Amino acid sequence: MPTHEITAASAGTWTLGDMTVNRIGFGAMRLTGGAAFDSGGTPSDRDRVIGVLRRAVELGVNHIDTAAFYFSRLRSANELINRALAPYPDDLVIATKVGPGRDPSGDWLPLARPDQLRGQVEENLRQLGRDHLDVVNLRQHGLDSIAEHFGALAELRDAGLIRHLGISNVRPQHLAQAQAIAPVVCVQNAYGIDNRLSDKTLRTCGEQGVAFVPFYSIAGDGRDAGGVADSEAILAIARAHGATPAQVRIAWTLARGPHVLAIPGTGNPDHLVENVAAGALRLSADELASLD
């Protein structure tokens, strides 16, 4: 099948609480232009990235990851999503994250205190133009226990502002801490062929039916495409399938388990089509072994 006809359903679906999503989703961090989080960089072309979002949905993407702190000088990921997609399709799940924050000039603020999380949730509601958020991830950094923060989000869930909760940048003990307070539908951690630090967390999620949502699966620890060199094994598999290294990287994450949801990030319409098509790329046992 020609690449541009492959849809996000080609890798199957998974459930986030009571919502079903295609396993190929979309990450919104790259929509704003310049280097990610770079308030001084060149803003993205508005029409082009709005086109990317609309095309993603046309291709069956119904799981979009975002954050209020994804913004550059003139672009906000949430505003672009709102502009491109509202009124939102019924089956679209928008997942956002709270914890980190930036001031209006883009400088990072310390991790929010538990009592500040309501304001961050409300900021996402305003920007996305919604009355509730489908999924909110607590994106932690440096906490031994996330119980207090996660408890604050659980209260907002009880109040109807949030439908489902997830956690991000976590270790296995954080998952147990959160689950003692409220259900966790997804865990979002850095993970990819070159970064297996979250292998145990991925497995634990699989055992418990929790979605594992890797980020930097294409970019790797270099955090930008090309930041990590593609190994000969990746290049050989790409050649064998007439695929690109980025597609091999996405397909590899999907092969780690049916609970793995890809959210590749791009502001490039051609990369979008390629990333969605990666859902149809099946790697053989030998190929997977060669990537280990």
Task: Rule CB under 6 A: choose which of 134, 194, 230, 274 binds ligand NAP.
Answer: 274
Residue 70 known to be catalytic: yes
**Binds ligand NAP by CB under 6 A, chosen from 57, 263, 276, 280:** 263
Residue closer to ligand NAP by CB (options 54, 285) is 54
Which stretch, 80-88, 193-201, 202-210, 258-266, contacts ligand NAP (CB under 6 A)? 258-266
The residues, ordered by sequence, that sit 6+ positions from 39 with a Cβ below 8 Å of its Cβ are 71, 72, 73, 105, 106
- Which of 21, 138, 218, 255 is close enough to bind ligand NAP by CB under 6 A? 218
Contact 31, 65 (CB under 8 A): no
Catalytic annotation, pick one of 70, 88, 191, 216: 70
Nearer to ligand NAP, 159 or 240 (CB): 240
Alpha carbons 148 and 252: distance in angstroms, whole number? 35
Minimal distance, residue 39 CB to ligand NAP, in Å: 17
Q: Counting contacts by CB under 6 A, is residue 225 touching ligand NAP?
A: yes
- Residue pointed to by tokens 């996305």: 128
Cβ proximity to ligand NAP, 152 vs 251, nearer residue: 251
Which residues are near ligand NAP by CB under 6 A? Answer: 27-30, 65, 97, 139, 168-169, 188, 215-219, 224-225, 244, 246, 263-268, 271, 274-275
